[in-house]
Amino acid sequence: DNPSAEEITEWHKKSELPLKKFFNSSGLKYRELGLSKKLPNMDEKEQIDILASDGMLVKRPIIIDNNRVLIGFNEEQWSKGLKK
């Protein structure tokens, strides 16, 4: 299932990361849509709506709990994040 716009908005606020970090920028769908050129000209709502439109655009893995959101695998970040 695709995450909803509301879920993505919540994750974005909780993560305190730039919204572009939520995009699977190495994915086929991202490249097909030409998002590397389009994202800088899109507002936050447009970016959230496009993320919610197709789960293949959302970077994985993603861990969400009450206090944090970890996106994409980065061993150092995940080690620190999971120890909190």
| pLDDT tens track for 29-60 | 999 999 999 999 999 999 999 999 999 999 99
Q: Residue 83: is its pLDDT beyond 60? A: no
| pLDDT tens track for 4-21 | 999 999 999 998 899 999
Angle at 57 between CA 56 and CA 60, to 5 degrees: 75
| pLDDT tens track for 53-77 | 999 999 998 888 887 888 887 777 6
Asked if 25 and 32 touch (Cβ cutoff 8 Å), the reply is no
Distance CA 15, CA 17 (A): 5
> What pLDDT is recorded for position 84?
47
